[in-house]
Structures are given as C-alpha cells and as structure tokens.
Structure 1
Amino acid sequence: TLISMIVTGLVSYFLLTPEYKSSTQILVNQTKEDESVYNYNEVQTNVQLINTYSVIIKSASILNNVRSDLNLDISLSDLNKKITVESAQNSQIMTVSVIDPDPSVALQIANKTAEVFENEIKDLMQVDNVSILPLADDQENQAPISPNPTLNIAIAAIIGLFIGIGLAYLLEYLDNTVKTEQDIEKLLNLPVLGAITIIDQNFEAKAKGGKNGRMRGIS
C-alpha cells in the first residue's frame, strides 16, 4: 500500500502534465423586438437546434477557421479532441469547454470557437439566434483539473491495500513449510509423541550462576 501511494504521488506530481479547462457559453435564442413576448414554440425550436449546433461547432469548417485564426500548430483531429460541447436538458445555453496544458491557450480556443461559430452559423443555416455570454476573465489563473494527486493517491492506497491482502493470502496458500506439530502430523500422517523445546543458553547460564551464588552464600 505504501509503495503504491509513493509511486502514484511521484507520478502525479512530477511526470503527468497538468491540464487546464476553460469554458465559454453560447445562448441560442431568437432576437425579438418585444422582449416581453414569450413564444413557447420558438423556445422549443431553439432547444432542438442545440443538438445540431453541437455537431456544427466541432465540424471541420469551424475548427479550420479557429486553427488558422489562432495559428495553432495542431491537426483538426487533435483540436477536436480538446473541445467538448455540453448543454443541460431543455436549456437554451451551450457550454463550450477546452482542455489544454496551457490555460491561456485553452481560453483562447474556447473564445475563438464560440466567436467563429456565431459568425458562421448565420451563413450555414440562415439564422441569427446565437449570442455569446460573457464569462469571468480569471480563467487563466485557475487550478489544473488534472492530475488530482490527492484523489490519485487515495485510489492507489485502496488498490495497494487490496493487492497486499491478496498477495498475503496467496503466499499463505502457497506456503508448504513445516512450522507446527500439526503440520508434521498432516505431512507424515503420524501422531506427534512429544516436542523438545529450545532452551536459551543465556538463560541457562544465568540460572547456573544464580544457583552457584546461593550455594556459596550458604557455605
């Protein structure tokens, strides 16, 4: 267990590259002149469009513009893996998140992806119902989302404990050495008539010395 915890701690702190996550949010909602009018059908249409928008955001046409605008030296496939699009059920808000070892790069990709999508969707689907929600500016100073050394060490402790217990039972099961009288009876199929105990020589010497001392005292 201790070895597992130490190795996991060293790997988490010194070998794994920290990764940071930045996000931006996109509101899917048709602009209205009269904001007081609530049209349920329009809202449902916007919600249903989010599934389509989630695919378009990670399409090659959008990501290619993001890569060229930011001068990123990565493939479209690698850029696609960095980006995730999420939306709560029946929500008109999409969250575009980017994970990268550099927090500033993650924030730039997230913002640029949302910006390119907002511009391109007008031509792709002939709609104007997308707007970017402002987010906090301190995302570059956030802590890394991975690795999580504390969680990794805790998991390693549990795994190491189970491995240690299993190894102990395995060694005990494979151990065929003779240790007790019962082992002898089982091995030879003969009864044990007696046992000779081991006498400590130092104890025997002390016992003799004490006896001689008492005898001298009597004489």
Structure 2
Amino acid sequence: MNFQQFIGVLRARWKFIVLTLLIGSFLTVGLSMSKAAVYASTGRVFIVVPDNSAQVNDYLSTYLVAQRTASYAELAKDPVLLQKVIDRTGLQLSRSDLASRITTKVVTSTQIVEIRATGPTPVEARDLAEAEITELVALVNEFEKPTSDKPAAVVARSTGTPLLDSVPVGVPLGFVIAIGVILSLLAGIVGALIKDLLDISIKSRQDVENAVDLPVISALPHDPSVAKDAHSAVAPGSPLAEGFRVLRANLRFADLDSSGQMILVTSALPNEGKTLTAVNLAQSLAATGQSVLLIDCDLRSPSVAANLGLENAVGMLSVLLGHISLSDAVQAHSSGLDVLPTGPRPPNPSEVLETDAVGGLLHVVREAYDVIVIDAPPILPVADTSTLIRHVDGVLLVARYGRTRKDVLRLAAERILGLNGRLYGVVLNGIPRRGGGGYGYGYGYGYGATFERPEIASPRPAQGGGRRRVGDDPAAHEAFR
C-alpha cells in the first residue's frame, strides 16, 4: 500500500476513525475521572550506633548496622507492627490493605529507612506515615534495649514529621488523557486499515478490472438527495448528472449510435442502483434528440413508473395479454422519453419473459426507436434477466461502491458472458465524494481518458419533430392491437 492508497483508506473510513477516537477519548476521560486521587507522604528513620557505644569506629559495627537497617526495613511491614499502626490511627483497614499502602526501602549506601504511605487524602497519608515511623522506632528501640552488661547495638530516630503533600501521586491527568486520545486515534487508523484489508467489496476501478476484466464505463458519485429519496430527480448540473452524460458518451464508443439499438441494464443483486442508472441513462440519451424507449422488465419489483411519476396500472403485460395496444401502453415523459411500464404483476415473471410474445414486442420497438433501454431484474437471484439477454445488443452491469462483493460481481459477469451476452462494461455507482486515489474517481471519465462531451440538444416535445413513436408506425400499431 502506497501513501496515496493510505490516504484513500483514511478518507473512505473517516467515520470509523472518528467514532473510534471519540469512544476511546470518552473512555479515557471517564476512567481517569472516576479513579480516586491518591496522595503520598514520606518519612525517614535513621538507624545509628549510640554515641556511648564502644563499637562506634569498629568496621564490624558498621556492617552490623547495615544488616540491622535492612532487617528493620522488612519488619516495618510485619503484621504485628501493622496492627499497632491501625490501632494508633483508628482507620478501618485490614492488615493486608495497610501493607499495600506502605512502602519501605533502605536508601542506598545509608543507614536510613525510607517509609512511604499512601491514602485518599493528604492528611490520612501523613498520619499513616507518622504512625508507621513511630511504631518502627518503638520496635527498634524495644529490640535493641540495652542491658546492664551490654549496650544497645543501634538505636532508631525519626528524622521529623512527614510532610503534608497536597499534590496527588501518579501520572498527571492531562498526560493520561492525551495518551488515551493518541492511542484511540492510532486504534482507529489501524482498525480502518484492517477493515480495508478484510473488505471484499468493490472500492476502486482496479477492483472491478481485477474481478471481471471489464472496464468501468462510468463512475457515478453518491448524491445525498437521490440516496434519501430514490424517486427524486437528478439535478441537471450535479456531478451525478455529469456521470450519466459520461456514460452516454462512452456508450457511443461501443457502437451504440446506430438506429434501433437495445441495451439492458442489470446488477448482480438488488439495491445496487440499476433502475437509477437505466432511468437517467435513458433521459440523457433522449436529451440528445434521439427517440428513446425505456422498458421496465423488472416484473417482480417494478419501480420505473414510480421513479418518473408515471402510472403503472397498464404496461407491457397489458400489451402481451391483448388488453391494450402497444401505442396506448407507452407513456410520454416530460423529458422527451417514452416509457413502457410493467403493468400488473404476473404470478410467473420468468415464464412471461420467456414467451415469443416478448421477443415480438422487443422486435417491434427496435424498429420504432433509436435506442431502447431495458431495466431488468438483478441477474443472480432470478432467471428473468437471462431470458432477455438474447434479445439485446449489450448489457450494462451496475455495481454499488462498498456493497457489491468482488466474487458476486465476477459471478454476475460470468453468467452474462455464459449466455453469450455482450458486456459493455461496469457502471460503478454510489462513489463517496471524499473518495480519492483508488477510493473514488472524482468524477472522471469512463475508461480513464477524457472524452469530449457531445452537445446536448434541447428535448423535443413527445409528439413533435422527427421522432418516431410506436403510434406513428402502422406495423407496430397493428402488431399488438
């Protein structure tokens, strides 16, 4: 992974990183604030040879004092002594609790025992340290009590009352919070990288080409207004509208500029944007002045009519059943596009699409229009689309950024090619605006080259100009009367 890809991961998964950062920061602050402050107080006990001892300058006496100092440092945490400290302070503590709050050590190269006590308040810490020192001095002097024939080997003396320290011990709160925030940020970044490595969905042009060896014929950016309401119109000047104009231009390089061409739009699975692509591609083609018919062949889940604000009560099925003529079933849209909805839903969609009547209908409309765009069902869950592929000139396969899995896209492409279908390419839909590098295309052009956008003619009235309609063709009118 290079630096550009790394930045692409951060941009694509910034929400995950921010969420991890916020959760980690809140936990750090919460734990830091909930942890009670601890205060400490330190005092010292000096183990010395009495002035009147005959061994003051004796080397053996110095060694003896060092040994005694170490021994008394250990005895400072003796259970009997600790109980005396508890009794002296009156605190409700067990000996084990007190032992965990008392620390003793011999200062290097000295005869000093340093005693450190901790507590929830500065006063309690000082009182514990003072009581510990008092009891330790008493213990030493009791053990070293002189006799008539033997003077005390050592005596213990306190160096003074332990100080009252009002500053809590431990790492400063601000430092702990700063470290927690930094670690949370790092955890978010590492988590984002791991998620990206484990993610098998389509996220880039390279993912598509590696999965199906097909070009990305157009990259459609995510449009919040369309994502919120699938029936809302695409704003003419929006990046998404530009993406459909790019798709239209690139399709012309696939020999779709001749009369009567029929293109099928499908996806591997539902909710990947095939209807959005079919509707807006048809409108974009109609905007150039061509006669365009959009057919909704998704008999299981029709949505073209609702998307365009048209009526779905009658349509293709009505024509096939002979209830209405083809010219009466076709509805004109304000964009200059003709639309043939599904009509009533049949109980057996696959069987309906396999009939010769459907082939005859498609043949008739091919003769009447410059371009026919078919919104077909997803190809993997049902067999409906497989029966339509033999009638069309080519197929557009729609994939959804971050949702369509690579293996699923590969399987869909293999099924289309296995049916001898011609795949024009993949339309990658829903690319986030923050995408960059391998994680988004900006709003670049299909094959990586910048094609010149053709001039867009003003939409002609549905009934006017030189456009052919089914109703103007006597043969088509009689065929499905």
Normalised TM-score (structure 2): 0.38
**Residue 185 (structure 2) pairs with residue 185 (structure 1):** no
- Give secondary structure in 1 for the equivalent of 2:109: coil
1:157-204 CA-to-partner distances (Å, cap 9, x unmatched) read 33213311210111111222223332122112x242x62355972267
Secondary structure in 2 aligned to 1:110? helix
Aligned position for 2:236: 201
Farther-moved stretch of structure 1 (105-114 vs 195-204): 195-204
Which of the residues 145, 160, 165 maps onto 2:184? Answer: 160
Partner of 2:195: 171
- Determine whether 1:9 maps to 2:29: yes
What residue is the counterpart of 2:100 in the other structure? 81
Return closer, same or farther for 1:129/1:184 CA change in 2, 3 Å cut-off: same
- Over 3 Å counting, the alpha-carbon distance change for 1:158 and 1:196 in structure 2 is closer
The CA deviation at 1:107 is 0.8
Q: Distance in 1 between matches of 2:110 and 2:122?
A: 27
Alpha-carbon spacing, 1:44–1:157, altered in 2? closer, same or farther (3 Å): farther
Query: Partner residue of 2:82?
Result: 63
Other structure's SS at 1:65 match: helix
Q: Secondary structure at the match of 2:98?
A: helix
Query: Is 1:142 matched with 2:166?
Result: yes
The DSSP-based 3-state class of the residue aligned with 2:217 is coil
The residue that corresponds to 2:413 in the other structure is: none
Q: Distance in 2 between matches of 1:129 and 1:28?
A: 6
* 1:32 paired residue number: 51
TM superposition shift of 1:114: 0.9
Indicate the structure (1 or 2) with the bigger Cα radius of gyration.
2
Q: 5+ residue gaps in structure 1?
A: 213-219
Q: Find the residue that maps to 1:89 and give its secondary structure.
A: coil
Aligned counterpart for 2:68 among listed residues 36, 49, 65: 49
- Find the counterpart in structure 2 of residue 93 from structure 1: 112
Note the C-alpha offset of 1:95.
0.8
Higher normalized contact order (CA 8 Å, seq sep 6+, divided by chain length): 1
Deviations 1:102-156, CA, capped at 9 Å, x for gaps: 221111111111111111223335444211001464x1x5211146312211321
1:123 to 142, 155, 178: 142
Relative to structure 1, is the Cα distance of residues 98 and 195 closer, same or farther in structure 2, using a 3 angstrom cutoff? Answer: same
**Separation in 2, partners of 1:118, 1:187:** 81
Structure 1 residue 133 and structure 2 residue 155: aligned?
no
SS in 2 for 1:179: coil
What is the RMSD computed on CA atoms of the aligned residues?
2.8
Deviation at 1:44, TM superposition (A): 2.9
1-structure distance, mates of 2:134, 2:157: 9
- The answer to whether the 8 A contact 2:41-2:162 is kept is no
In structure 1, what is the Cα distance between the partners aligned to 2:122 and 2:157? 24
Q: How far off is 1:38 after superposition? A: 4.6
Is contact 1:5-1:160 (8 Å) kept? yes
Q: Tell me how far 1:5 sits from its aligned partner.
A: 2.8
Give me the whole-angstrom Cα distance separating, in 2, the residues matched to 1:163 and 1:43: 56
CA distance in 2, matches of 1:40, 1:72: 43
Q: Which amino acid aligns with 1:182?
A: Q
Larger mean CA deviation between 67-76 and 77-86 belongs to 67-76
Contact 1:29 1:46 in 2 (8 A): yes
Verify the 8 A CA contact 2:144 2:155 in the aligned structure 1: no
Aligned pairs, number? 201
SS at match of 1:120: helix
**CA 1:120–1:197: 2 relative to 1, 3 Å:** closer
1:62-82 alpha-carbon deviations (Å, 9 max, x no partner)? 111111122222111111111
Residue equivalent to 1:216: none
Change over 3 Å in CA distance of 1:2–1:47 after alignment to 2: farther
Structure with the bigger percentage of helix: 1
- 2:236 partner amino acid: Q
Paired amino acid for 1:80: A
Which ranges in structure 2 are unaligned for 5 or more consecutive residues?
Answer: 1-20, 146-151, 222-234, 243-286, 288-455, 458-481
Q: Which residue of 2 aligns with 1:217?
A: none
